[in-house]
Amino acid sequence: MTGPRRRAYPTTEELRIWRDFIETAQALRAELTARLQRDSSLSSGDYSVLLALSEADGSRLRPSVLAQALDWERSRLSHQLGRMERRGLVRREECATDSRGAEVVLTDEGAQAFRAAALPHLRAIRELFLDPLTEEQIAAVGDAAAALRVRTESQRGR
């Protein structure tokens, strides 16, 4: 459902809100990334992969499924997995159900690194994103994010 008909171009006030949104999101992401790296020596890419694998059945996923879950290009994922394999966080194994394919598997070391990173990362999210907002503002941000996600996913044909 769309709202009332709007002007073709954003107003000055709408552009100010847009810039505030973009600049704030970038600043939040940069600070969360810096804290994650400082507190755990994990990059945001490492954390994203480890999170997806930790939530997967058997802590393993086909690379194509993992790339789709992260919304990454396969080449980006391949480079990321190579770096993580060298550090012992993940390994690639032959797929048990399809000998032509492989699966990315969370190692014990990767699971331990993820667990060690999770609490400080969640505290940073609380401090930087949730604490400055009221419950009503958090709900409004959630509603806005959901509306934007529906639009962007429909534009990409998902």
CA distance 89 to 136: 39
Tens digits of residue pLDDT in 40-79: 999 999 999 999 999 999 999 999 999 999 999 999 999 9
CA atoms of 72 and 87, how far apart (whole Å): 21
Q: State how far the Cα of 105 lies from the Cα of 63, in Å rounded to an integer.
A: 10
Q: Is residue 3 part of a domain?
A: no
**Closest Cα to residue 125, out of 57, 36, 43?**
36
Which phi and psi angles does 49 have, rounded to 5°?
A: -65, -45
Structural domain includes residue 6: no
**pLDDT score, position 97:** 74
Range of the domain at 40: 12-155
CATH of the domain at 25: 1.10.10.10
Structure-token pair, residue 95:
């797929």
Is 83 inside a domain boundary?
yes
Dump pLDDT digits (tens) for 97-125. Answer: 776 789 999 999 999 999 999 999 999 99
Q: Give the three-state DSSP class for 93.
A: strand
Distance CA(67)–CA(47), nearest Å, equals: 14
* Residue 63 within a domain: yes
Question: Has residue 1 been placed in a domain?
Answer: no
pLDDT band at 153 (very low <50, low <70, confident <90, very high): confident
Q: How many domains does one find in the chain?
A: 1
